[in-house]
Amino acid sequence: MKLVRYGERGAEKPGLVDGEGRLRDLSAHVGDLAGDALHPEGLAAVAALDANTLPLVEGDPRLGPPIAGTGKFICIGLNYADHAEESGMDVPPEPVIFMKATSAICGPNDPIIIPRGSEKTDWEVELAVVIGKPAKYVSEAEAMDHVAGFAVTNDVSERAFQIERSGQWTKGKSCDNFGQIGPWLVTPDEVADPSALKMWLKVNGETMQDGSTATMVYKVPFLVHYLSQFMTLHPGDVISTGTPPGVGLGMKPPRYLKAGDVVELGIDGLGSQRQDVVAD
């Protein structure tokens, strides 16, 4: 299934995309795509519905993030061997974990807002994993039983805030609208292999990132297992799994976003995003 949330920010309704690509309203059956609705039983109940009987949504409404109630937005750093190389860093012996504030989450086509004082706002196309069933001390073999689905995310980053100022990476990752997610939450039955997905990102029509989850060092089942050793993962929690090469920081000379730019990105089977870049 391809699940969505649509409508004005803060008032989104749940929906799904039918087999012909049309948006259908789920609000008579699901309060929101959060909590128990993301549990395997909740997703099975939605899958059992006849999509053709659900009301069609007219027009072209704004899409919000495809899940609600996210308690944790967990990011994995340097998780692509080729991205670590372009960054001049070694692949870490264990996953690098940092948090992105949940207030950064927005819809897939909402603008990238360059924060005040920023000169190094950067892009990162990433595969997001959404938790559907609580995970605590799960094995790698059991990990996928806890995944509700996958989505595209743009891990927008302000490199000066992240790297050049003292402290941790969080403040360079958590500005408003630094976490576009969507357009869809795609359930695992539609993703044959999350370790073999083509991913791309363009700025003003120029391809910057052209990679694949195949170069991901720590794969999805391991990441869910690994994180669950340190914290309980809850329904709606998001794991952003790292980015392939081609970020602005790695260019010679580095290249960063400016107001007026347009960013487009996507992952095969998971849809695409388009964002206008604006100044705060």
Gap between the Cα atoms of 17 and 143, Å rounded = 26
Which structural domain, as residue segments, surrounds residue 260? Answer: 64-279
Q: Is residue 270 part of a domain?
A: yes
Q: Is residue 29 part of a domain?
A: no
| Per-residue pLDDT reduced to its tens digit, 172-210 | 999 999 999 999 999 999 999 999 999 999 999 999 999
Q: Is residue 187 part of a domain?
A: yes
Q: Is residue 48 part of a domain?
A: no
CATH number, domain at 81? 3.90.850.10
| DSSP per-residue string spanning 229-265 | TTS-B-TT-EEE----S--GGGSSS-----TT-EEEE
Q: Span 3-17, mean pLDDT?
A: 97
Q: Is residue 20 part of a domain?
A: no
% of the chain with per-residue pLDDT over 90: 91
Look up residue 80 and give its DSSP letter.
B
* Overall domain count for the chain: 1
The whole-number pLDDT of residue 84 equals 67
| Per-residue pLDDT reduced to its tens digit, 47-61 | 999 999 999 999 999
Element containing residue 185 per DSSP (H, E): strand 185-186
